[in-house]
């Protein structure tokens, strides 16, 4: 990956920590979004299974 010379005032070590923290946050929020949807989908299938 090509390194850029743009300085935003945060050193590389701290930027990596921030990036890892944001990655974990994104993973957690995506999981919290999908679990209820998966549960509702499973619930709908179970409720209407006798009609199929």
Say which residues have a Cβ less than 8 Å from residue 18's Cβ, sequence separation at least 6.
10
- With beta carbons less than 8 A apart as the criterion, state whether 30 and 37 touch: no
Query: The pTM is what?
Result: 0.51
User: What pLDDT is attached to residue 22?
Assistant: 93
Longest dimension (CA), the chain: 63
Query: What whole-number distance in Å separates Cα of residue 38 and Cα of residue 52?
Result: 20
User: What pLDDT is attached to residue 13?
Assistant: 93
Tell me the CB-side half-sphere exposure of residue 52, using CA atoms within 13 A: 6
Please tell me what DSSP assigns to residue 12.
H
Tens digits of residue pLDDT in 2-39: 666 777 899 989 999 999 999 999 988 887 777 766 66
Structural domain boundaries in the chain: 12-51
């Amino acid at each position: 990956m090509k390194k850029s010379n743009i300085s935003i005032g945060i050193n590389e070590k701290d930027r990596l920590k921030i990036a890892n923290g944001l990655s974990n946050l994104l993973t957690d929020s995506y999981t919290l979004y999908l679990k209820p949807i998966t549960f509702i989908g499973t619930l709908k299938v179970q409720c209407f299974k006798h009609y199929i």
